[in-house]
Amino acid sequence: MYPDKFEYFAPDSISKLEQLLDKYKDDSKIMAGGHSLIPLLKLRLTSIPYIIDISNIKDLNFVEYNDNLEIGPMTRTAEVASNKIIRDKCKLLSDAASKVADPQVRNMGTVGGDICEADPRNDMPAVMLALNAEFEVTNSKGSRIIKAEDFFEDAYTTALESNDILTKIIIKNTENYYGKYYKYTTLSSDFAVFAIAINMSLNGDKTVKDIGIGLTNLNNTAVKAKDAEDYLKNKRIDDKTCNDAFNLLLKSCDIEDDINGKKEDKEKILKDIFVNGLKGIYKVF
């Protein structure tokens, strides 16, 4: 299968990238690893006249920690999974990255591509929601910050304008946090049937200080289980709070019967995964 014809650019700096985006606007698209874009092009589900490969831009590929964890969008998923700084500072992110697709895909795919493509089945959007991450977005007029919860608007739709570049992922909730990514898949697919990202910190009295919960493939796009988060703050994790939190979490979901199972079955599995996940993370502290 061959994609439709396109022109290809591989700029080596952000300023050159900005110029290309200003010139070609909606006719162009940024490609990072290409592992969401190239399949869409090959299946001719989309056709893009100007493709701009950002893999030669060194300023988009970094992992740093100074008070906050800062990650360049061009960082490959395999690097996110194995990077020592990320492992030390953000267990949820390294855990989730190690569960994305398969090794070959992780070697090409990038954290920024996963976020910006905003496929409802992609893993990183829910993780970013659970981490309350912030995205530095740049275009030729300047930079601004978009919070993860304002970023994902619908399936394949984000708050990015056609000339915007995701230039930095900023994660503040790292110190004293612990989290995991619970991904439910069938054997035949590497995409999640659904998944839950949880990032938690506790008060001295073992009540929840802060919690972030992101949901993959449980709605049109990745969503934050805001009601469940608010409810769990300053509470202990036990059978009752888990149960109540799950009922609130369901409000953030839009679960339907599909090829993977009936609504009621999926809810049952979701509950098991959520409750065991909460308890498992709580035990670590």
Q: Phi and psi of 182, rounded to 5°?
A: -105, 110
Query: Could you give the string, one character per residue 179-218, with x where binding to other proteins holds by CB under 8 A and - elsewhere?
Result: -----------x----------------------------
Choice between 8 and 239, CB closer to other proteins: 8
* Nearest distance from C-beta of residue 4 to other proteins, angstroms: 7
Q: Given the rule CB under 8 A, which of 13-21, 35-43, 124-132, 252-260 is the region that contacts other proteins?
A: 35-43
Choice between 82 and 162, CB closer to other proteins: 82
Q: Which of residues 82-141 bind other proteins (CB under 8 A)?
A: 101-105, 107-108
Spatial separation of the C-alpha atoms in residues 115 and 219, rounded to whole Å: 16
Choice between 1 and 259, CB closer to other proteins: 1
Count other C-beta atoms under 10 Å from residue 260's C-beta: 16
Which of 14, 16, 22, 38 touches other proteins by CB under 8 A?
38
Which of 17, 21, 30, 51 touches other proteins by CB under 8 A?
51
Q: Helix, strand, coil: what percent of the chain each, to 5?
A: 40, 25, 35
* Nearest distance from C-beta of residue 34 to other proteins, angstroms: 7
**How many residues are recorded in the chain?**
285
Task: Specify the DSSP class assigned to residue 252.
Answer: T
Strand ranges inside the chain, DSSP E: 7-9, 28-31, 50-53, 63-66, 68-71, 134-139, 142-147, 152-154, 157-158, 165-171, 178-184, 194-202, 208-216, 223-224
19 binds other proteins (CB under 8 A): no
Ordered strands of the 134-139 beta sheet: 63-66, 68-71, 165-171, 134-139, 142-147
Count of residues engaged in binding other proteins, rule: CB under 8 A: 28
Give me the residues that bind other proteins (CB under 8 A), please. Answer: 1-8, 10, 34-35, 38-39, 41-43, 51, 53, 55, 78, 101-105, 107-108, 190
